Chain A
Amino acid sequence: MNGGMITAQSSTSIGQTSFLFYITLIISISAIVLLIIFYYISTQKTILKEKAESMGYESPNEMVRDKLAGKPRLLSWNVFLYDDSKSIALRYLLASMVFFFIAGSFGLGMRLSLTNPNPHLLTPDEYNVLLSEHAILMIYMFALGAAFFLGYYLLPSHLKLKRDVMGGYASVAFWIWLFGGIFILVSRTATRWYYYPPLALELAEYGGGVFNWLAVIGLEMVFVGVVINCIIIIKLIASERSKDIKLSEMSLFTWAMLFTVVMTISSAPTLMVGLGMLFYDFFNPIFFTAASHQVLLFTIMFWFWGHPIVYIAIIPAFGLIYEIIPKFTGKPIYSYNSGIIGLGLLLILSELVWGHHLMNSGLGVAWDIFFGTTSFLVVIPSAITVFNWIASLWSADRIRLTTPMLFVINGIIDFIIGGTMGVILSAAPANDFLHGTYFVTGHFHFIFLGLTVGITFAGIYMLFPTLTGGRKYDVRLARWHFYLTALGSAVMAGAWGIGGFMGMPRATAGYFARFQPYQDVSIAGGIIIAIAQLIFLYNLAKSYTKQPSISMDNVLENNPTSPEIPVTTPAPTPPDINITGGAK
């Protein structure tokens, strides 16, 4: 008996020693890698500076701007040296894609752990970490990163930018945002993306995670980066736009980005303050503890931002859909003005619906009536937008079903399904038994997978020849990527929607055995999505080995939508345009 205890004890101390050893090893290796990267970047910057001085420029940024102005921009590691808008855009593309695959694999891990009603592959603690990280990284690092990629990449061309002077700030904002995301990733936070106190204040593995304070700092950094970016984008649109482009003639994507950034800086500050108060609570719990009777205050501050963020994640996609449709129908968008009105109304109304996340929490009847009703009203601008897309497709003589166009059509269908699920949720009688179930997860994933993910991929496929210096992607693989993503997301989100309707609770590491069928179907859907993304990676690798063979001029960059000029089908187009039956 005694001997056994001694053995157990000594094995724990050996375990601790080797744990410390591995931690030290990991820290040392990452420090060496970071040092090498830093050395490389600073050497390259010095070389660039000397070159700029020898050519008579005061700073390398000016030389880069002059050298690269108006030229197609391809993806290379040099984007970390240059501070112009398009280079910043490509940094966001790289970072957001890395986080997409990290967070996506977390999602797959959760699915695999749910093959059994009792947690089996992952412990509940590990499951909860993946649950929190998946959501936080997908929203703040992938969705916002992709939005900034599209914004910084397309706006300079759409606005015929003359000066691009905010690059230094944009670069700093990028690094703050990136390190914020890395802090969140390594913090192993387990508060879910809500950060609800008092759970978030429970610094333990069974609570919000031992290092949850790091996740709070990380999220605050992400916010600082995001808000700086938003101000820069407003400045790009408002004061650096070419004089040739009137406000009333800007592309619909520009309008979408403008509304997105305005929405961000008008709703982010509440949660930034809330996170500050939360951080203070770690040392001196006075704001959000049971004794303060103000626990719900944080949830209010959170959702004032938390609802707009889901619109912030999709409005750039709305704008990009407006840009992509005319390229493949050969006709202008059905109504430019109602496009702007729809997006603008969405900006206003979507800031007024956040309270519907807190029905049943004890905030009263007036609260429920107000936010229930505004949740109905927010359907109107969404419907305007969807009908505008449908009318544009309906009135086209011919639609060329290229890969980006397929993503757009699937995005519209998914948005209609997910949006309808949202209207159902806004009815309080339904909300009472659907809130907190997988029905909400299904609603959200239909929209997020169809629009944010799907349209980002559509944009990447559109820009592919430019980004890769004139390479083609394999059309058949791209089709498989599309079909499997679309199928997988419909299966997964559909099974969640039905299971949620039967009362299946979300965010759980295990479930009542009665929900097994819905879980199994959604796991199948999740695996299909994962396979599709592997096909995408394989496609990238395959095209990398090919020689550049086509023009780098880009239709998405150089032919923005406008109210007057009808879109003629321009010559430079993505590579799979001439493959399908509908092609010329």
Chain B
Amino acid sequence: MNKKQIELAWIIAVLVILLSWGAINIVWIGDVHNSIATENNHVSANNSSNVQLIKVQGTQWSWTFTNSSGVSTTDAFNVTVNKTVELVVTSVPGEYIAVIHDLLIPQMGIQIYAVPGQNNTIEFTPTHTGVFFFECVEYCGELHYEMRGYMTVVK
């Protein structure tokens, strides 16, 4: 190959890799991110029988989880395996004021901001039982690092 051909091969190879990734990305977002951020398109609004709805409230500096039967837990919550979980996440003033938080459950591959005055929703379906950690990943003041805990997936 001469110099021009090598250059051309470089350019085409890079573009193909990038654009295919980009296309996959668009499809994936359209599929999965559909449930974020609008108050009206809760999964539970359409099909409430098979969904575990959990209200999540971030505050300085803990997470409160309230399930559909009204039971609240702090920095820990339980869900049932193979059943879609829907989180409705917001930030509320606790002892101090409401600031921005961000809930990350790495092993579920989900992350959602807790923004004051706004309900963000996200859904996921745990496929394994076990204990998984979650944490706040938006810096929110003094004890930001303590806004963490465990989610337990039970049978």
Residues of chain A at the chain B interface (Cβ within 8 Å): 119, 124-125, 128, 131, 190, 192, 194, 196, 198-199, 201-202, 204-208, 289-293, 295-296, 299, 360-365, 368-369, 372-373, 376-377, 379-380, 383, 387, 423, 426-429, 432-433, 435-437, 502-503, 505-512, 514
A198-B97 in contact (CB<8A): yes
A429-B28 in contact (CB<8A): yes
Most chain A beta-carbon neighbours within 10 Å: one of B104, B110, B133: B104
Most chain A beta-carbon neighbours within 10 Å: one of B97, B122, B136, B141: B141
Bound Cα distance from A363 to B142, whole angstroms: 27
> B116 touches which one: A125, A198, A511 (CB < 8 A)?
A198
Q: Which residue of B lies closest to A117 (CB)?
A: B145
Chain A residues, CB < 8 A from B97: 198, 201-202, 207, 290
> B146 touches which one: A128, A510, A514 (CB < 8 A)?
A510
Bound Cα distance from A377 to B23, whole angstroms: 12
Are A428 and B117 CB-contacts (below 8 A) given A503-B106, A509-B144?
no
Whether B18 sits at the interface, judged by CB under 8 Å, is yes
Interface residues of B in 1-28 (CB under 8 A from A): 10, 14-15, 18-19, 21-22, 24-26, 28
> A432 touches which one: B18, B110, B135, B140 (CB < 8 A)?
B110
B143-A124 in contact (CB<8A): yes
Are A364 and B37 CB-contacts (below 8 A) given A290-B117, A433-B104?
yes
Q: How far is the CB of A193 from chain B (nearest CB, A)?
A: 10
Chain B residues, CB < 8 A from A426: 25
Whether B65 sits at the interface, judged by CB under 8 Å, is no
B106-A373 in contact (CB<8A): no
Whether B30 sits at the interface, judged by CB under 8 Å, is yes
- How many chain B residues touch the partner (CB < 8 A)? 56
Interface residues of B in 77-104 (CB under 8 A from A): 91, 93, 96-100, 102, 104
Most chain B beta-carbon neighbours within 10 Å: one of A205, A206, A299: A206
10 example contacts (A-B, Cβ-Cβ < 8 A) are as follows A204-B96, A290-B91, A362-B37, A364-B38, A368-B29, A379-B18, A423-B18, A428-B29, A437-B106, A505-B136
7 closest A-B pairs by beta carbon, nearest first, are A436-B137, A503-B106, A290-B116, A508-B145, A362-B37, A206-B142, A361-B113
Q: How far is the CB of A65 from chain B (nearest CB, A)?
A: 46
Q: How many A-B residue pairs have CB under 8 A?
A: 183
Q: Which residue of B lies closest to A364 (CB)?
A: B37
A373-B25, A428-B28, A503-B135 known, 13 other contacts, Cβ within 8 Å: A128-B141, A190-B141, A206-B60, A206-B143, A290-B117, A295-B118, A377-B22, A428-B29, A432-B109, A432-B111, A433-B104, A437-B137, A512-B148
Q: How far is the CB of A341 from chain B (nearest CB, A)?
A: 12
Chain B residues, CB < 8 A from A194: 139
Q: How far is the CB of B16 from chain A (nearest CB, A)?
A: 12
Q: How far is the CB of A397 from chain B (nearest CB, A)?
A: 16
> B22 touches which one: A125, A128, A201, A376 (CB < 8 A)?
A376
Are A362 and B113 CB-contacts (below 8 A) given A124-B142, A206-B142, A376-B21?
yes
Are A507 and B111 CB-contacts (below 8 A) given A202-B96, A293-B118?
no
Chain B residues, CB < 8 A from A429: 25, 28, 32, 109
Bound Cα distance from A128 to B140, whole angstroms: 10
Are A128 and B142 CB-contacts (below 8 A) given A364-B38, A503-B104?
yes
> B10 touches which one: A362, A368, A387 (CB < 8 A)?
A387
Are A360 and B102 CB-contacts (below 8 A) given A427-B25, A503-B107?
yes
Chain A residues, CB < 8 A from B99: 196, 198-199, 202, 207
Chain A residues, CB < 8 A from B110: 432-433
Chain B residues, CB < 8 A from A436: 102, 104, 111, 137-138
Most chain B beta-carbon neighbours within 10 Å: one of A194, A208, A296, A361: A361
